[in-house]
Amino acid sequence: MALKIRAIQNNLGTSDSPYYALAARSDLIETEAFIDRMAAGRTTISKTEILAVFQLAREELTRLLAEGCYVHCGLISFF
């Protein structure tokens, strides 16, 4: 799975940069495959435990967002 990066000419007059970077993915990994890869890694955590943590995180994130919170999780932020 390669990351494709291109330099695109910037035609906007509001920027000092003549080019900007555009990154594109080459493959999509669905949740199930992602969890399988995590469970196969260097861990003693089972696939069932990973699924439970993802479910709990989704439920709590939904609750916090409904309350209007900004949630920063290290890898990503939600608002």
**pLDDT over 90 at 61, yes or no:** yes
Query: What is the pTM (predicted TM-score) of this model?
Result: 0.60
Q: What count of Cα atoms within 13 Å lies in the side-chain half-sphere of residue 59?
A: 6
How sure is the predictor about 4, in pLDDT bands with cuts at 50, 70 and 90? Answer: confident
Beta bridge partners of 7: 21
Q: What is the pLDDT of residues 31-57, one digit of tens each?
A: 899 999 999 998 899 999 999 999 999
Q: Which two tokens stand for residue 30?
A: 């669905």
Question: What are the extents of the domains in the chain?
Answer: 4-78
Residues 70, 79: contact at Cβ < 8 Å?
Answer: yes
How sure is the predictor about 67, in pLDDT bands with cuts at 50, 70 and 90? Answer: very high
The rounded distance, in Å, linking the Cα atoms of 12 and 18 is: 9
